[in-house]
Structure 1
């Protein structure tokens, strides 16, 4: 490892009228083992012209302090992973959007293909911890120089009794006057809907970011705290940081890893970031060039990140606080607001990238992600088509992130977490994105449920079987729309969102989508929803973004004793070998569809065998 002296190595970006990266600090360079890659850690310094149309969209940018040149300054953490030998580079980079400050690893497929990996801090509220990536941005002030004040809020739903709660979402917003009239605490029984009962002020106190309640917080109840804060950060500069870092990497003479193409991958929070990034026009840089050639928005549903507004809290889980109109890429007339626009069809979008949307069942079912609205009209009444530059892939029977195996329950007596894992498909699609951009080879066709063929239905029409301990998913709701700050009227804020979900087969497994062997040749029922265990309170409320896996009984006698309507394993498969033969057929079909690689066959078969063995040795319920 080579550590540079504390004086740092300063690399000056090429000067131009709209040069956004003005300085690069290299803090560390080190080899990545025997991979042939090196890691470069440093910091990018930016300056942007707040008057440019592509920057004027940033919330409060006109109230930011400026330097002598009239520019707004900010800086971001940087991490590059690149082949040491430029001859081994394939000329393309994956921009891995950091999730709450996290960093991307160096996968085998990255090394084999010769991709460069770029991480850039974009989130102002990441805790100051070693290795975490963040952005430093200025705060907005009133025109007369005085501090801007406003009310901030945060919600939380405890899983167990507690007298105190740490307000992690509001760490960057210390209260100005806790005893002021703006300070309120409310409690409600439904997390998806605003409002609730006021808790008397004398019963709670706030010291720093620690909230105390006399009598304690009740598990399963949703609480929302409000208080006065000041000095809102320009959170939307996070979009400019990604835009301008990519422009630097691709076009600037001082780039430390010059590439011709760049694709961004963002999961969950970061998938929502990318949907908003494109919607707000940041895929056009200050030189009027395409920023990202490709975007892969993973497990974002129809949500976008509530970042580009005053008092943003991007680190929040944002349960039921993600989906604002527009939901789809193409312009759709909205009966609730009267507006008509799309993520890609609006006046800001000049350079739309190639896009992959990848979603699990959890984004259709819960947390207000309403993934179906990416491919239906805003009222959920009709299917709509994606544009030629867009593909959408639904992973049947999956939760927001697959659990490990063997799976465990969230609480005693609760169903198991969902282990169905489509990560191998995600890798195959990432390689397909590269070939689409560089070779013009069209990726696999979109795979998602549709109203027209009955594989997408209103939640009230789902034919879920009566499985012991599962509850009735038809009780679930999507919540209301979030305010879109780009529209003065909020674009239908609060309007009830339609909840359209994938239809299921007799076992309760999703019919449509990319069906991994765990779903196509099932050992149990896999869902993208699950109710809270009784021990965690509010058992008719969902666990955000989680699903469940309920294995089949091994024998008919066991399932009948459990009053389980689903056929047992012995009634489905003649033997372990017969089961694995069916699994192999499914895998070969996925390979032929270019959704898996040939190298995935044996590992997937071994996984299926291990899961069969585990289920067959579970005690009868």
Structure 2
């Protein structure tokens, strides 16, 4: 079909009212192009990539939209609805009859595609239509339609990230104002700090100060997360000309935490991002004229968007405006126990909660568990999935909660399945599974081979433990559960009942010479969020997994790297060398400490761990252990049969790197 005709058909189909249509009101396809020059991806055949924009309308009077904060205060169209639009991309089989009927919606992280983690050997810098970009193309070979959709308002303009354009509450004659908070941990000298959140190389938009001279504007500095704040004299600091950053006479001091509370205006209706994700999949499922008619919809989100999906479930966005189930499956990856700033006035979706930055935002807030729990301190009672546990609940999506070891140290993951005081296990719904990939750092493996030492000892920055193999198997299991009704593997995660979860002080780890051990995990607190900055109350209890004699985590999915270990894979990394907080954790990163190669090396170092020589004897004997471990994981359905060769190659390369 010619491109112009495709656009015309899409617009024409959407122009007519449809009882089955979700609140997608218009779609514009700006570009349509073949993937990999039209090459076939197994039985699914050739794929094409669509790039475009999708337009939404939300009804403030609809009971399934009323939870969107400030929706009723946003401008309305002639039909009394509130409008928004998003950028999207779509990968779909060129012949729809050859697809699986499953659409995987990538809830993009800070505007960026995340489902590439399921493709081995992908070249992320290649053209998004090239074969190299998709590597082994697992998703395409299995016939999935893959949609990426912008949902986050605070993405900087420019090519690359997916953008979302929500409405603003209020009107020029009656602007809404309120206090906004921005904090930053300064690790290197700087004269300017942005009001928007920064994560690595990702800089978010911030609300501009509405009045630089407002008496509410305050800059404070402190030495630690809960240390007393000192007010910086107003004459010493200034808003930049565009009012989106702050400068300080003499510069900001490394090692300090700075926090700006200031008055802003015109809050974005942030919760429409949740509704847009809901309505995109509902449109694909229920409108036969959609761009990719879909039988089953699955959402994938990682880190920020794993928390987004927990928030999505908590606030009931799994049901569309007509009361129908939106997603049939949800894969919430590395969310820990968190939700986020996704649906309140002046919410900043990029804000999170990290071990030594971004403090006291509404990320880790009660309730945490799917099933009902009571906070013994406040007496509050609630559940993440309160609607799903009622007797008259509508059909619920099948949900995978998947974390790594890092999430216990850096994202308070134990709260997702224990009581707030850490005294008892709390289970999950029959439609849910929880999986923990032992010792894995956050979201994806570090570089291999590692390229930077941690301090001057035997430890390396970044853990190369490759959780992707487990993630691929789990995604296939979720698709089969949703599509075919095949039960997935039982949940695998550390519990109190199995004595696999404990306070850090009770953890027994090998004392490796030259390796400092983490002793302070990320700590969430009970917060009074009614004011800025919030009042900090008592801490929640955080527990971490028990470890084996090498220091590797127990109680979850033990990958080939742990079953045939050549190293200790710590899921955390210390802030060594930083101007402050050296006993705290680097965000997201792990640490790998190779075992001593020989008994002589072990004795010379005083390393309590056994040597590779003693454990395996030879490279061939070691690789036989790797292959046996891979076969076991395949049998347990935590590795795809096709990935056993990749595991063998990766561990052979690991042997060569360590034994070089």
TM-score (norm 1): 0.92
Q: Provide the rounded CA distance (Å) in 2 between the counterparts of 1:29 and 1:336.
A: 56
SS in 1 for 2:239: strand
Q: Provide the rounded CA distance (Å) in 1 between the counterparts of 2:445 and 2:352.
A: 17
Q: Provide the rounded CA distance (Å) in 1 between the counterparts of 2:218 and 2:205.
A: 17
Distance 1:230 1:550, change over 3 A: same
**Of the candidates 304, 314, 335, which is equivalent to residue 279 of structure 1?**
314
Distance 1:114 1:6, change over 3 A: closer
Q: Provide the rounded CA distance (Å) in 2 between the counterparts of 1:233 and 1:12.
A: 30
Q: Name the residue aligned to 2:65.
A: 55
Q: Name the residue aligned to 1:466.
A: 511
- 1:359 is aligned to 2:403: yes
Q: Name the residue aligned to 1:393.
A: 435
What are the equivalent positions in structure 2 for 1:333-348 lying under 5 Å apart?
Answer: 333-346=374-387
Q: Name the residue aligned to 2:487.
A: 442
Deviations 1:382-438 (A, max 9, x none): 012211111111111111031010113376547421111111111111111111112
Deviations 1:3-33 (A, max 9, x none): 6599976344251478511111111111112
Distance 1:255 1:477, change over 3 A: closer
What are the equivalent positions in structure 2 for 1:301-380 lying under 5 Å apart?
Answer: 301-319=336-354, 321=361, 322-346=363-387, 350-366=394-410, 369-380=411-422
Q: Name the residue aligned to 2:175.
A: 147
**Of the candidates 187, 194, 198, which is equivalent to residue 221 of structure 2?**
187
SS in 2 for 1:240: helix
**Of the candidates 90, 99, 102, which is equivalent to residue 112 of structure 2?**
102
Q: Name the residue aligned to 2:127.
A: none
Distance 1:484 1:53, change over 3 A: farther
How far has the Cα of 1:161 moved from its partner? 2.3
Q: Name the residue aligned to 2:79.
A: 69
Please tell me whether the aligned partners of residues 412 and 524 of structure 2 are also in contact (alpha carbons under 8 angstroms): no
How far has the Cα of 1:539 moved from its partner? 0.8
Q: Provide the rounded CA distance (Å) in 2 between the counterparts of 1:412 and 1:550.
A: 12
Q: Name the residue aligned to 1:600.
A: 643
Q: Provide the rounded CA distance (Å) in 2 between the counterparts of 1:177 and 1:5.
A: 49
Q: Provide the rounded CA distance (Å) in 1 between the counterparts of 2:399 and 2:534.
A: 25
Q: Provide the rounded CA distance (Å) in 2 between the counterparts of 1:221 and 1:446.
A: 42
Q: Name the residue aligned to 1:24.
A: 27
Please tell me whether the aligned partners of residues 364 and 524 of structure 2 are also in contact (alpha carbons under 8 angstroms): no
Q: Provide the rounded CA distance (Å) in 1 between the counterparts of 2:249 and 2:564.
A: 52
**Of the candidates 158, 166, 170, which is equivalent to residue 186 of structure 2?**
158
Structure 1 alignment gaps of length 5 or more:
none
Q: Name the residue aligned to 2:123.
A: none
- 1:132 is aligned to 2:173: no
Please tell me whether the aligned partners of residues 105 and 297 of structure 2 are also in contact (alpha carbons under 8 angstroms): yes
- 1:89 is aligned to 2:123: no
Q: Extract structure 1 runs of 4+ deviating beyond 6 A.
A: 5-9, 490-493
TM-score (norm 2): 0.87
Deviations 1:445-478 (A, max 9, x none): 1100011121101122111222234334334351
Q: Provide the rounded CA distance (Å) in 1 between the counterparts of 2:421 and 2:2.
A: 57
Distance 1:23 1:315, change over 3 A: same
Structure 2 alignment gaps of length 5 or more:
41-45, 117-133, 198-203
Q: Name the residue aligned to 1:418.
A: 463
Please tell me whether the aligned partners of residues 525 and 536 of structure 2 are also in contact (alpha carbons under 8 angstroms): yes
- 1:269 is aligned to 2:304: yes
Q: Provide the rounded CA distance (Å) in 2 between the counterparts of 1:603 and 1:19.
A: 42
Please tell me whether the aligned partners of residues 83 and 89 of structure 1 are also in contact (alpha carbons under 8 angstroms): yes
**Count of residue pairs brought into register by the alignment:** 610
Deviations 1:169-209 (A, max 9, x none): 26341111223222222223334x48522223233222033
How far has the Cα of 1:224 moved from its partner? 1.6
**Of the candidates 126, 144, 147, which is equivalent to residue 115 of structure 1?**
144
Please tell me whether the aligned partners of residues 232 and 310 of structure 1 are also in contact (alpha carbons under 8 angstroms): yes
